[in-house]
Amino acid sequence: MFDKPFNKINIEDIEKLIRIRKEQENNYLEYKEKIDLSDKFKKNFLKTVSGFANAKGGFIAIGIKEDKKENLLEIIGIENTINHQKVEEWVNNVLLANLDKKVQYNIKTIEFKNNEKKIILLIYIPESPKKPHMVTLKGENHYYLRHNKSVNLATHSEVEEMFEYSKKVKKGYEDFLKLRNLFDEHDVKFGLNEKSKKIYNEIIEVSNNQASPFILVSFIPIYLDEYRVKTASYEFLDWLKTYFRGFKPNINFELFDYSNWKIEYKSIFSSTIWNNERLPQKEKYYSYFEIMNNGFFERGMSTEIIRYKEKQNSSIKPILNLTETVNIVLTLLKFAKLFFQKINYYDEILFQLSVVNVKNFTLAGFSHKNIGEYWTEPFHTLNIHPRSCTIDRFKCTKRFIVNELSKDFIEKTIYAVAEQLSNAFGLLEVKYFIDENDLDCNNN
């Protein structure tokens, strides 16, 4: 419908849609002249939203007057508040209260030029991987489906088809996780794929480990569509060039080696090669970054965050640097928001941090209390034997939608990651955060 990410749509795009293209209502577009408090409007609105979610998705533009007899369209706008609420809040409350299951959607107000009181309310509802969605207003309990320009009650067979669709989506998602060995952390193959098997860390030589420790940070759309993004294109690679670094707290940190992309079947892949004469004829990676056509992307890493500490008695203690790990997760969450907006995916996403081959490792590289001595804690003289991880593999997960990726949500997410990592390594205190629970981003 629009040739740009939803968050970039502006009044010029609406004017082009209405005045130049003169786009009429269709399978994927509906206009509404106004918004009001009546049950009649609410019912019609809920039918439209659920009808799009139960079908192939679509846009609702509110503030557009349509003369269906003359096929004329006019931008008239609406007020930006209703019943003393912002229109976005009112819409959210109506949808939450009167739809069973919650529908994922994207919404924005588009201001008129030189008129801050008038807006166009634009809503995008993607096809739902959790359909069917039921309208429950006033105890109605009906399913609706978009058919061309109209929304109708779904038939029994259509409802059955929607349930089967949801089961298929869920199975496809779980099958993908299993194929990537990201589903079950108790599986000995957990985290292993053809890329992660090549991650190398010299720590295996100095600490007598049998396998390289590594961490995968993965973002998996719940609704997987193998044609979602054309990764092998100059346009997409140019976009990546803009966003491969420059995120706080470490604006110079590079998420991937932009100069080293490889085009693969249904994906693109960038790696930082480990050059070592002791590993002739073997390609090994410091880290890698993979983006697949279905919207999945993953960063694998080891040496950046997993090292070892030589103690005074000449023994070796392998460590996982918490602050650097969480800062990379923070950077990837910020990249994820831009990436999913770029590919116009606004539904649910699974974030997963997979930690592999870290049994007996110690958590370190944290705490503002070090007073300039970077490795003081946990290796200070009163803590000669710090706590270690007692399991070899585990994962930290969080589900979200792109619209939730606010600064506050990201900070809560990385706090949860820091908490789970701290607990996994036997610590009660959540490291990486200073006493007031503010981010200690300067320690990296």
Q: Would you state the pLDDT for residue 375?
A: 45
211 with 151, same domain?
A: no
Q: 199: which residues sit within 8 A by CB, 6+ positions away?
A: 212, 214, 284, 285, 286, 287, 288, 300, 301, 302
Q: What is the mean pLDDT of residues 47-64?
A: 96
**Predicted confidence band at 404 (pLDDT cuts at 50, 70, 90)?**
confident
155 with 65, same domain?
A: yes
Q: Over 70: is that where the pLDDT of 441 sits?
A: no
Rounded-to-integer distance, Cα 14 and Cα 98, Å: 29
136 with 268, same domain?
A: no
The overall average pLDDT reported for the chain is 87
Q: Which among 102, 101, 97, 103 has a CA at the least distance from the CA of 139?
A: 97
Tell me: the pLDDT tens digits for 233-263? 999 999 999 999 888 877 888 999 888 899 9
Question: What's the token pair of residue 11?
Answer: 């009044």
Rounded-to-integer distance, Cα 256 and Cα 430, Å: 29
Q: Over 50: is that where the pLDDT of 308 sits?
A: yes
Q: Is 339 part of any domain?
A: yes
Rounded-to-integer distance, Cα 273 and Cα 241, Å: 19
The CATH number of the domain holding residue 102 is 3.30.950.30
Asked which of 168, 201, 226 is the last residue of a domain, the reply is 168
Q: 423: which residues sit within 8 A by CB, 6+ positions away?
A: none
Q: Is 437 part of any domain?
A: no
Q: Is 430 part of any domain?
A: no
339 with 210, same domain?
A: yes
323 with 213, same domain?
A: yes
Rounded-to-integer distance, Cα 355 and Cα 212, Å: 11
Q: Would you state the pLDDT for residue 320?
A: 92
Q: Is 174 part of any domain?
A: no
Could you give the C-alpha distances from 169 to 174, 224, 308, in angstroms and in order? 9, 8, 43
Rounded-to-integer distance, Cα 164 and Cα 232, Å: 32
Backbone angles phi, psi at 389, to 5 degrees: -75, 135
Tell me: the pLDDT tens digits for 92-132? 999 999 999 999 999 999 998 766 678 999 999 999 999 99
Q: Over 90: is that where the pLDDT of 433 sits?
A: no
Q: 436: which residues sit within 8 A by CB, 6+ positions away?
A: none
Question: What's the token pair of residue 387?
Answer: 């706590």
Q: Is 222 part of any domain?
A: yes
Give the pTM: 0.86
Q: What is the mean pLDDT of residues 196-208?
A: 85
Buried/exposed 156-169: b ≥16 CB within 10 Å, e otherwise: eebbebbeebbeeb
Q: Which among 365, 437, 434 has a CA at the least distance from the CA of 408?
A: 437
Q: Would you state the pLDDT for residue 178?
A: 97
Positions of E strands within 8-87: 29-32, 57-62, 64-67, 72-75, 78-79, 81-82, 85-86
Quote the DSSP letter at residue 204: H
More confident site: 2 or 400:
400
Q: Omega into 378 within 30° of 0, i.e. cis?
A: yes
231 with 108, same domain?
A: no
Q: Which among 308, 273, 319, 355 has a CA at the least distance from the CA of 202?
A: 308
Expressed as residue numbers, the domain containing 392 is: 180-424
Rounded-to-integer distance, Cα 40 and Cα 52, Å: 19
Tell me if 140 sits within 8 A of 100, measured CB to CB. Answer: no
More confident site: 285 or 113:
285
Asked which of 168, 198, 223 is the last residue of a domain, the reply is 168
209 with 152, same domain?
A: no
CB atoms under 10 Å from CB of 345, counted, come to 22
% of the chain surpassing 90 pLDDT = 64
Q: Over 90: is that where the pLDDT of 89 sits?
A: yes
Q: Is 220 part of any domain?
A: yes
| Helices (runs of H) and strands (runs of E) counted in the chain | 8, 23
Rounded-to-integer distance, Cα 88 and Cα 110, Å: 12
CB atoms under 10 Å from CB of 218, counted, come to 22
Q: 79: which residues sit within 8 A by CB, 6+ positions away?
A: 87, 117, 118, 119
Tell me: the pLDDT tens digits for 123-155? 999 999 999 999 999 998 999 999 988 999 999
Q: Over 90: is that where the pLDDT of 72 sits?
A: no
By DSSP bridging, strand 348-356 and strand 316-321 are unpaired
Radius of gyration, alpha carbons of the chain: 25
Q: Is 213 part of any domain?
A: yes
Could you give the C-alpha distances from 286 to 199, 227, 271, in angstroms and in order? 6, 30, 8
Please, where are the H alpha helices in 267-374? Answer: 322-342
Rounded-to-integer distance, Cα 107 and Cα 125, Å: 9
Tell me if 102 sits within 8 A of 50, measured CB to CB. Answer: no
Handedness of CA 95, 96, 102, 104 (dihedral sign): positive
Q: What is the mean pLDDT of residues 166-175?
A: 95
153 with 24, same domain?
A: yes
196 with 338, same domain?
A: yes
Q: Would you state the pLDDT for residue 301?
A: 96
Tell me if 61 sits within 8 A of 90, measured CB to CB. Answer: no
Q: Would you state the pLDDT for residue 378?
A: 64
Q: Over 70: is that where the pLDDT of 314 sits?
A: no
Q: Would you state the pLDDT for residue 394?
A: 96
Q: What is the mean pLDDT of residues 352-375?
A: 75
238 with 322, same domain?
A: yes
Q: What is the mean pLDDT of residues 388-415?
A: 91
Token pair 């109708």 is found at: 152
155 with 31, same domain?
A: yes
287 with 397, same domain?
A: yes
Q: Is 439 part of any domain?
A: no
* Total structural domains within the chain: 2
